[in-house]
Structure 1
Amino acid sequence: MNIVINQKEYIFKKGIRNDHKIRRSFNQLAEQSFGFDFEAWYQLGFWNEKYIPYVLLNGEAVVANVSVSLMDFYLSGEMRKYIQIGTVMTDANYRNQGLSRFLIERVLEDWHSNCDAMYLFAKDSVKDFYPKFGFVSAQEYQLNRDVTTNKLDIKVEKLNMEEQSDLKLLKNKSADLNPYSLFATESSEWLVLFYGISFFKNKFLYIPQYNTIVVADFEGDTMNCYDIYGTGEIPMDRILSAVMKKETKKVVFGFTPKEQEGCEISLLKQEDTTLFYKTKDQNICKGNKRMFPILSRA
């Protein structure tokens, strides 16, 4: 579709994953904007219909993008359909010309009445931009607790994201929701696998005896537990005790656990990041001390 913005003509397209030329230009803009691209994710077959770029092209070059991620959340036992907005980027030569505004308006037009809520994570430099579209800011809260059990002598394997068998295992396990989470995503394996081949490549730990994957890393005596994929039949304490190190004294959760006894809750502080949401129920985020799982952030 040809459109005119500020007296300049652009081509507007969405859902460009299988168009090689446009995808290549999209990846180039992502590399320039964020320092990574999506090509390996695509080539491995993990980019599916749940991640939808909305792009503007000048000729054959993608000059602006806003992506939609379709997210299914379970909240207090009920399924919620959320839309996450992300990968907002504009070529440096095309900024401040209304391109992002046009794309955000198209996303709202397509999805606002077809979901329970829309949300995004914005940098501080654009915090004043999203309220213009009816988005409001919200705080998130993170839980942590002291370790209450000793490390278990159980075999734990680090998954190798270069191995197809390990990728397949991660894909199958992460397709289900985290059974230990109060606010969990379902069928988000496409996004988990993006983390698996990029930023979290070395953080996936498999416990064969429990048929459970734990996403975690360690900083001194602290274990950051980002997510857990398993049957839920094993108590979470045993899962944590299997993967933690002998020196681990504290666990910080990257999701909101159902079991909160002994947990300390604090305001989630993220540098240069603010959560914005838009929903018919403006109280959806107020008074609820939880967080969007780290691995659900597109």
Structure 2
Amino acid sequence: MQTKQLTLNNKTYTLHIAYQANERMRQAFNAMTFDFWEFTFEPYYQSGYWDDNCILFSLFEGEQLVAHTTLSLFTTYTADQRLHLGQLGTVMTLPSHTKQGLSRFLMESIFESYNDKLDGYFLFANDTVLEFYPKFDFYAVLEHQASKAFCKQPTTHTVQRLDLTDITDLHCFQHYLKNGHTGCRFDTHSYGLAHFYCYANPAFGYAESIYLIPELDTLLIAQHEKDDLMIYQAYYLKDNLVDQAFNALADAQTNRVVLGYTPIDTGYTYNPYKEEDLTLFVSPALITYFEEQPTMIPLLSHT
């Protein structure tokens, strides 16, 4: 935890960084997060999997949290290099404290602390604040999502749905997170965030969407959505047999596979993708990854 007192616009604030172990301040953060986004980070903290890659930057005025930004750190693997990236998320300012430069101060504090450690940044901006981030040299880019037509074939492979409340299944899940390959061209896989989505917050729906195909040494986080099989992430230990794993999990109604990440594999069609009311912004170093070839930030890496 780091703490710094400062004055902005003749008001005194305290900047607290990485303070989640402080219950009083964490509960203030959770309350503000629920007011803005209708979820909290408390289950994540209680799970024990909140690691050093999820860093809180908050301004307090006295005991009141008034502005916040979360920095999430990723080691991202592309086709030809390894990148150290930061995602800015959970951006919040109390309505009574907007237009006072507080969000600007938090972003500048993050840049001051991490610019020499990171190769670039990205964030998902609400469409009401699209004019704010270009002031910090962020650029809006369009994501593209991979999909392909699919027809289920006969298979003898078995599918086991994991229950992460069972310690054996949890350890299996963690084995794939630690040792598996993703076959993802822009891989922002995070051990902590995987637990955030799939373990700490069952209400998100992913906890019941984890499937193991033992014969293929492959684990899928996936959901059936009408005629689509939505694959949020795939992990394999040895050979890339994800197509066979998709076939094992598909049902007779499945006529398309849709991915929540950008695959290395060929044979996919790419279509523009944009979440409702959100636009992806990236720092200059990342623009080429989205403009020169179809790319998306893996859905389970969003904060």
Structure-2-length-normalised TM-score: 0.92
2:28 match: 25
* Percent pairwise identity: 30
1:189 match: 191
2:290 touches 2:296 (CA, 8 Å); kept in 1? no
Higher alpha-carbon deviation: 88-97 or 270-279: 88-97
2:107 match: 104
**Offset of 1:211 from its aligned partner?**
3.1
Structure 2 unpaired stretches of 5+: none
Structure 1 pair 152–281 and aligned structure 2 pair: CA distance change class (3 A): closer
**Offset of 1:97 from its aligned partner?**
2.0
2:300 match: 295
1:73 equivalenced with 2:76 (yes/no): yes
* 2:38 corresponds to which of 26, 35, 39: 35
2:219 touches 2:234 (CA, 8 Å); kept in 1? yes
1:112 touches 1:118 (CA, 8 Å); kept in 2? no
1:158 touches 1:205 (CA, 8 Å); kept in 2? yes
Q: Deviations over 1:208-236 (max 9, x none)?
A: 33332101111221111110012141422
Q: Residue type of the partner of 2:296?
A: M
1:237 equivalenced with 2:239 (yes/no): no
Distance 1:193 1:210 in 2: 23
1:138 equivalenced with 2:141 (yes/no): yes
1:85 equivalenced with 2:91 (yes/no): no
Q: Residue type of the partner of 2:232?
A: Y
* 1:47 corresponds to which of 29, 50, 53: 50
Structure 1 pair 234–87 and aligned structure 2 pair: CA distance change class (3 A): same
**Offset of 1:41 from its aligned partner?**
1.0
Structure 1 unpaired stretches of 5+: none
Structure 1 pair 271–163 and aligned structure 2 pair: CA distance change class (3 A): same
2:236 touches 2:242 (CA, 8 Å); kept in 1? no
**Offset of 1:56 from its aligned partner?**
0.5
Structure 1 pair 152–120 and aligned structure 2 pair: CA distance change class (3 A): same
1:14 match: 17
Give the 3-state SS of the residue equivalent to 1:155 in structure 2.
coil
Distance 2:133 2:61 in 1: 25
Q: Deviations over 1:140-161 (max 9, x none)?
A: 1111101154152432122223
* 2:122 corresponds to which of 107, 114, 119: 119
2:223 touches 2:230 (CA, 8 Å); kept in 1? yes
**Offset of 1:243 from its aligned partner?**
1.0
Distance 1:282 1:236 in 2: 29
Distance 1:295 1:219 in 2: 17
1:279 equivalenced with 2:279 (yes/no): no
Q: Deviations over 1:133-183 (max 9, x none)?
A: 111111111111011541524321222233333333222312346432222
1:147 equivalenced with 2:158 (yes/no): no
Q: Deviations over 1:251-292 (max 9, x none)?
A: 01111111122x211111321111111134653432221111
* 2:269 corresponds to which of 255, 264, 267: 264
Q: Which consecutive aligned stretches of 4+ in structure 1 deviate over 6 angstroms post-superposition? A: none
Higher alpha-carbon deviation: 121-130 or 13-22: 13-22
Structure-1-length-normalised TM-score: 0.93
Distance 2:235 2:287 in 1: 31
Q: Residue type of the partner of 2:111?
A: L
